[in-house]
């Protein structure tokens, strides 16, 4: 099934006026100085142009925009907090950007059913806070939670640091409201955990990056708020030891083990060196670290964590560990973890991968990927870290130190992006893994997708796209590239 890649039209003044009339003059942006923030992203890897940014305030306005876009064959790029890392939220050039940030209401919070229905533009951190005010937990947690939005989280099927216990965004949504390309509204805002009335249409749109429909609202699952949270920072010798510690932790804590982050020493060094007010929580350096957290509805989390670490010491797995003594101490541990990505910027160019492999394969993946990358590019500095508990590793590669003084060293390094991808993805695929664990496909990985995905799956994806968006006006060029003849 072929997908037509439309040429972004030059919008006539009349068409712009018709779009403007839907949202009102205040919420239609054409001044390019103001448009700039919507067509660029923080890492400056993806950028485009747009003649118009629309900021709808209701589902009805989104529907009217889609209806007019279909009539005029105007391509739309839905955008939440603009925090995506694969260019899914960035226009190529010429598409209309549909910013969902104004749609930020909490429509309903039901503690009996443990659900919260929110609009797509609600910031994740606000959703967390509103749940906490009702003595509930919305567990999705990301480094960008202060600015990313629920619609973006669902469109990219975000993962984060608590996926080990609670799953990814897909598993936290019971129902969706979606506007289709032609302006029809799919009302699937259900609170039901059991509903076997046909196909689960919700999951077609989660993870589709706005290419099949525009999520405007969602009914989210809430959970009991933990009464006790205990956090430890652990030093050990290898990913193999970290995997053994994970096994002990699962055995002792069960479902109360909510986070288990693996961090290489170079990542800690970067964070301490470049982060403000960050220090190594342990008194001596270690080759590898684990940041682990237990959450419990009872007051037994501390004793359980101590038992896990004691067994780790006895088995020769743990070399050193410290348990957070208070909230500030815990926040300091997590700040070190969250600063790893921004702390790579002062170290030069960074080629990033968001991969997953079976949990048991993580140590072998890191060893083989490190060897392959250094062989390809001597002096390159692998910076692996991430969610060992679910097999999702952010395998980043930083520019060689000796090239930092070269005026064009960063550009030469980043020019090898595809070469580095090739050797890393080869290891991932041999181990039965995925080239995208939680960041999506976007622009960055669209060309690679057909070569790593089952051909029948690609065919079905193209068929869905052609059926739901026959004119290819919803986020064209993201996830699925047009067939080349």
Model pLDDT, residue 93: 78
User: What percent of the chain has pLDDT above 70?
Assistant: 98
- Given a contact cutoff of 8 angstroms between Cβ atoms, the answer to whether 261 and 292 are in contact is yes
Model pLDDT, residue 484: 58
Question: Pairing state of beta strands 214-221 and 173-179?
Answer: antiparallel
* Together in a domain, 236 and 330: yes
- Given a contact cutoff of 8 angstroms between Cβ atoms, the answer to whether 161 and 263 are in contact is no
**Prediction pTM value:** 0.92
Model pLDDT, residue 336: 97
Query: Is residue 480, in this structure, part of any structural domain at all?
Result: no
* Angstrom distance (rounded) from CA 124 to CA 70: 31
SS3 398: strand
- Given a contact cutoff of 8 angstroms between Cβ atoms, the answer to whether 257 and 232 are in contact is no
* Angstrom distance (rounded) from CA 461 to CA 483: 13
* Together in a domain, 399 and 438: yes
- Given a contact cutoff of 8 angstroms between Cβ atoms, the answer to whether 387 and 356 are in contact is no
* Together in a domain, 310 and 339: yes
Query: Is residue 465, in this structure, part of any structural domain at all?
Result: no
Number of domains forming the structure of the chain: 4
Query: Is residue 5, in this structure, part of any structural domain at all?
Result: no
Average the pLDDT over 210-216 and give the result.
98
Query: Is residue 361, in this structure, part of any structural domain at all?
Result: yes
SS3 141: coil
* Together in a domain, 279 and 356: no
* Together in a domain, 231 and 342: yes
If one counts every other C-beta atom within 10 angstroms of the C-beta of residue 121, the result is 24
Among residues 347, 369, 391, which one ends one of the domains? 347
Beta strands across the sheet bearing 76-79: 28-29, 53-54, 96-99, 76-79
Task: Give me the CATH number covering residue 48.
Answer: 3.30.43.10
Average the pLDDT over 306-320 and give the result.
97
Instruction: Flag whether pLDDT at 153 surpasses 60.
Output: yes
Query: Is residue 364, in this structure, part of any structural domain at all?
Result: yes
Angle 312-318-319 from CA coordinates, rounded to 5°: 145
* Angstrom distance (rounded) from CA 371 to CA 354: 18
* Together in a domain, 311 and 370: no
Q: What is the mean pLDDT of the chain?
A: 94
The token pair at 369 is: 């990927």
Distance of CA 450 to the CA centre of its chain: 21
* Angstrom distance (rounded) from CA 124 to CA 80: 11
Task: Give me the CATH number covering residue 324.
Answer: 3.30.70.2190
Domain that holds residue 203: 108-224
Query: Is residue 326, in this structure, part of any structural domain at all?
Result: yes
Q: pLDDT tens-digit profile of 318-349?
A: 999 999 999 999 999 999 999 999 999 999 99
Q: Burial of 9 by CB count in 10 Å (0-12 exposed, 13-18 middle, 19+ buried)?
A: middle
Model pLDDT, residue 485: 47
Model pLDDT, residue 1: 29
Instruction: Flag whether pLDDT at 449 surpasses 80.
Output: yes
- Given a contact cutoff of 8 angstroms between Cβ atoms, the answer to whether 78 and 474 are in contact is yes
Task: Give me the CATH number covering residue 400.
Answer: 3.30.70.2740
* Together in a domain, 198 and 142: yes
* Together in a domain, 231 and 293: yes
Task: Give me the CATH number covering residue 194.
Answer: 3.30.465.10
* Together in a domain, 388 and 403: yes
Q: pLDDT tens-digit profile of 163-188?
A: 999 999 999 999 999 999 999 999 99
- Given a contact cutoff of 8 angstroms between Cβ atoms, the answer to whether 120 and 151 are in contact is yes
* Angstrom distance (rounded) from CA 52 to CA 91: 11
Instruction: Flag whether pLDDT at 266 surpasses 50.
Output: yes
- From 458, 481, 479, select the one nearest 78 (Cα to Cα): 479
* Together in a domain, 118 and 215: yes
Q: pLDDT tens-digit profile of 374-398?
A: 999 999 999 999 999 999 999 999 9
Query: Is residue 456, in this structure, part of any structural domain at all?
Result: no
């Amino acid at each position: 099934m072929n997908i037509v890649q439309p040429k972004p039209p030059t919008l006539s003044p009349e068409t712009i006026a018709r779009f403007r009339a839907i949202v009102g003059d205040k919420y239609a942006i054409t001044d390019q100085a103001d448009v700039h923030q919507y067509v660029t992203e923080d890492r400056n890897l993806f950028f485009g142009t747009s003649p118009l940014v629309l900021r709808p305030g209701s589902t009805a306005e989104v529907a009217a925009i889609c209806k007019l876009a279909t009539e005029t064959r105007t391509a739309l790029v839905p955008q939440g907090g603009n925090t995506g890392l694969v260019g899914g939220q960035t226009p190529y050039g010429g598409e209309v950007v549909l910013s969902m940030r104004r749609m930020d209401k909490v429509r309903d919070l039901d503690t009996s059913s443990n659900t919260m229905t929110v609009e797509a533009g609600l910031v994740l951190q606000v959703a967390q806070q509103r749940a906490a005010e009702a003595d509930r937990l919305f567990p999705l947690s990301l480094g960008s939670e202060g600015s990313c939005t629920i619609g973006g989280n669902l469109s990219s099927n975000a993962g984060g640091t608590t996926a080990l216990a609670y799953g990814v965004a897909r598993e936290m949504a019971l129902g969706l409201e979606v506007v289709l390309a032609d302006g029809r509204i799919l009302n699937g805002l259900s609170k039901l955990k059991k509903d076997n009335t046909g196909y689960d249409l919700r999951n077609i749109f989660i993870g589709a990056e706005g290419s099949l429909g525009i999520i405007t609202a969602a009914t989210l699952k809430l959970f009991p708020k933990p009464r006790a949270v205990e956090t430890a920072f652990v030093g050990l010798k290898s990913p193999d030891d970290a995997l053994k510690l994970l096994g002990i932790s699962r055995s002792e804590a069960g479902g109360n083990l909510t986070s288990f982050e693996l961090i290489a020493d170079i990542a800690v060094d970067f964070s301490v060196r470049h982060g403000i007010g960050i220090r190594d929580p342990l008194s001596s350096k270690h080759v590898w670290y684990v940041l682990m957290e237990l959450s419990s509805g009872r007051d037994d989390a501390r004793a359980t964590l101590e038992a896990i670490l004691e067994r780790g010491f006895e088995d020769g797995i743990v070399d050193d560990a410290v348990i957070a003594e208070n909230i500030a101490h815990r926040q300091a541990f997590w700040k070190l973890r969250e600063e790893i990505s921004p702390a790579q910027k002062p170290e030069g160019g960074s080629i990033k991968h968001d991969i997953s492999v079976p949990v048991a394969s993580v140590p072998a993946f890191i060893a083989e990927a490190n060897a392959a990358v250094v062989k390809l590019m001597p002096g390159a500095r692998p910076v692996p870290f991430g969610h060992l508990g679910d097999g999702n590793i952010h395998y980043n590669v930083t520019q060689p130190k000796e090239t930092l003084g070269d005026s064009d060293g960063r550009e030469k390094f980043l020019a090898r992006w595809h070469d580095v991808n090739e050797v890393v993805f080869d290891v991932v695929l041999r181990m039965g893994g995925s080239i995208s664990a939680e960041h999506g496909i976007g622009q960055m990985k669209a060309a690679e997708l057909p070569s790593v995905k089952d051909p029948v799956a690609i065919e079905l994806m193209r068929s869905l796209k052609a059926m739901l968006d026959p004119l290819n006006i919803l986020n064209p060029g993201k996830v699925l590239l047009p067939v080349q003849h």
